[in-house]
Amino acid sequence: MQPRRQAAPSPMHWPLLRRLALATAWLLLVCVPALALTAGGAAAAVPALDGPELAQGPFSSMKMTLKKTILRINVANIEVRFDKAAQARLSALASGKSYSKDLAAELAKVAIDAGHAVVQMQFNHDVSLDRWMGVVKDNLEQARSAGLISKDLEQQVGQGLPQWFSPLKDRGYEKGDRLLYEVRPDALHTAVVSKDGKVLLDRVDHEAGVRRVVLPSYFAPDSDFREPLLKSLFQ
């Protein structure tokens, strides 16, 4: 039997893939020196939205569906769940109020400063690894052009992508896959889990400051994720 070929995504999806890859690009910028990578399973549990240290109930999580603007295609479902301290702060700010830009700024700061959070992105369509890496490289080039990283770092990360994501080389991301980030004060845990529960990629980074990258990428003022995620608190 011939292996199933990964269909290349339509050019219409490229802007959305750029958005989905943005957080990964920023992670790669800072994870180069101390990256620990395992595949096909891991001794430690992968990140989970229902972890015992995370909050439950009102103001504990934010959700959104990333859609193709014209055709309304659901590209991915995204959920961010916070610890109890962040839940309490979000509740104190938002209870009994309506969404506004001023309030959003305060809520985003709480989200970015959360000590413990899990972000899950579940794909609703297949995405080839080559296309994903291409988008990450495009983001690296943009970051270098803006003076945020050096040319040497852009090349180092770009050349390292095939090795870092080698567990996904032949299959890419498939419908139902989950990309997970767990942010803690001293570590960032990243994993990719298939629809049937197989751990495809699992890495933990302990470099100081690396945890500060993920949540700002979702809640920065110019992020495509910020407004729909924050508005979900009021729904």
pLDDT of 13:
52
Euclidean distance between CA atoms 21 and 165, whole angstroms: 13
Q: What is the total count of domains within the chain?
A: 1
Query: What is the model's pLDDT at position 41?
Result: 41
d(CA 199, CA 201): 6
User: Which residue type occupies 232?
Assistant: S
What is residue 35's predicted lDDT score, i.e. its pLDDT? Answer: 42
The alpha carbon of residue 134 and the mean position of all alpha carbons in its chain are separated, in whole angstroms, by 17
Mean pLDDT of 158-165: 76
Q: Give 213's pLDDT tier (boundaries 50, 70, 90).
A: low
Virtual CA dihedral for 108, 109, 112, 114, nearest 10 degrees? Answer: -110
SS3 label, residue 172 = coil
Q: What is the pLDDT of residues 39-90, one digit of tens each?
A: 444 446 899 999 999 999 999 999 999 776 544 567 789 999 999 999 999 9
Is position 4 within any domain? no
- Domain assignment of residue 217, yes or no: yes
Q: Does the residue 3 lie in any domain?
A: no
Task: Give the separation between CA 22 and CA 181, rounded to whole angstroms.
Answer: 13
* Residue 155 or residue 179, greater confidence: 179
Which among 176, 177, 52 has a CA at the least distance from the CA of 118?
52
The pLDDT value recorded for residue 14 is 53
Query: Is 51 domain-assigned?
Result: yes
Structural domain including 145 reads 11-234
Q: Are 142 and 133 in contact (CB under 8 A)?
A: no
Distance CA 147, CA 163 (A): 26
d(CA 132, CA 151): 21
Q: Specify if 147 maps to a domain.
A: yes
pLDDT > 50? residue 130: yes
Q: Is 82 helix (H, G, I), strand (E, B) or coil?
A: strand
**Model pLDDT, residue 206:** 81
Q: How many Cα atoms occupy the beta-carbon half-sphere of 53 within 13 Å?
A: 10
Long-range contacts of range 18-22, CB-CB < 8 Å, 24 or more positions apart? 18/135, 18/138, 18/139, 19/66, 19/224, 19/225, 20/66, 20/75, 20/76, 20/121, 20/127, 20/135, 21/132, 21/135, 21/136, 21/139, 22/139, 22/217, 22/223
Q: What is the pTM of this model?
A: 0.75
In a domain, 127, yes or no: yes
Q: pLDDT for 171-209, tens place per residue? A: 998 999 998 989 998 888 989 999 999 999 998 878 654
Task: Indicate left, alpha or beta for 48 from its phi (over 0: left) and psi (-120 to 50: alpha).
Answer: beta
Residue 5 within a domain: no
**Is residue 111, in this structure, part of any structural domain at all?**
yes
75: Cβ contacts below 8 Å, ≥ 6 apart: 13, 16, 20, 66, 67, 68, 123, 124, 125
User: Pick from 195, 45, 54: which is nearest to 122 by CA?
Assistant: 195
